[in-house]
Amino acid sequence: MENLILVGVGPMAVAYAEVLIALNQPFIAVGRGEQSAKEFEKKTKVKPILGGLAQFLDTNQIANNTRAIIATGTEVLMSSLLMLTKKGVSKILIEKPAAISIEELLDNESQLSRYSENIFVAYNRRFYASVIEAQRLIKEDDGILSMHFEFTEWAHKIEPLEKAKGVKENWFFANSTHVVDLAFYLSGKPKDWSAFSKKGDIKWHEKTNFSGAGITEKGVIFSYLSNWESAGRWSIELLTKNRRIYLKPLEGLMTQQKGSVEVVNHEFDLGFDISYKPGLFHQVEAFYNDEQARLVPLAEHIDNSKHVYKVIID
């Protein structure tokens, strides 16, 4: 198989390393922090190269068939991506949302456009076993009629987190878009819709209260709601002619049959989502096998950022 560079040695990089080891895929891990590198080696038995990505690329010849997985902190995702593309890395999987903000992503759109077919953004929830099973049920029922989703964030838990400057300020883009991407992946892109947002008392994020509704390009009526200063959680509800499908939490699956008030757990094969970070095994597998149906190409992510995420947040 091709050469592979895993950029980053933090907890997310550890999760990727565990999958790569299971797939018998050799890789080089490149990181910066000595403490995180020690933890990485302890958990994966792989010794990282320290000094950072820039130093590694300057002192090593990069083969033509090299691929990369970028699993760094949000604040250095874009800089890592730009360094790798300039060195001619052939294919890249980058952790979401590929930049610290929508503005940083769009500022670099033109210089990344020539590489966009080979860059994929890691929205791993598309690969959840629960999502794959939900799609099977949807197909069985001849499609989705309507959808509701929620991307409420627990502000009281986020508030004390120590993050790089700009990460919490762009939390919707950095985190909540996991739900938004998945919702519109399942139902189609929004076509005719209205979005509303409101400021709250949270100091580190400008908007805290969101709602919207409309119809997608597949004819699915949808609505969403999110209030970061109240109660709630991430969830998606999918309504077919036979049942309501609950992804609540997203890793789980419950159903309610038409004509019944009972909501029951739906049994399905959790597969690799038990042994590895949910969705990650099949995402990495798809990246390597060039199976692009569930992957998010950079061009699609940029389009979503312009026409979906920016609309919701603004």
Residue-wise pLDDT for 280-314, tens only, equals 999 999 999 888 889 999 999 999 999 999 999 98
> How far is it, in rounded angstroms, from Cα 225 to Cα 54?
42
Beta-strand relationship, 207-216 and 221-227: antiparallel
Q: How many domains does the chain have?
A: 2
Residue 285 lies in a domain: no
Amino acid 291: pLDDT: 86
Q: Please report whether residue 101 resides in a domain.
A: no
Quote the domain boundaries for residue 179. Answer: 126-275+296-313
Cα→Cα distances 237→141, 157, 250, Å: 15, 25, 10
Domain assignment of residue 290, yes or no: no
Residue type, 13: A
Alpha helix (H) residue ranges in the chain: 11-22, 34-44, 53-59, 77-86, 102-107, 109-112, 129-140, 155-158, 171, 177-187, 272-275, 280-289, 298-304, 310-313
pTM of the model: 0.94
- Interatomic CA distance for residues 145 and 221, integer angstroms: 7
| pLDDT tens digits for range 61-117 | 898 889 999 999 999 999 999 999 999 998 999 999 999 999 999 999 999 998 888
Residues 131 and 251 in one domain: yes
User: What is the gyration radius of the CA atoms in the chain, in angstroms?
Assistant: 20
DSSP annotation of 131: H
Contact (CB, 8 A) for 181 and 188:
no
- Residue 282 falls within a domain, yes or no? no
183 and 306 belong to one structural domain: yes
1 has pLDDT over 60: no
pLDDT digits (tens, 9 = 90+) for 255-275: 999 999 999 999 999 989 999
Polymer length of the chain:
314
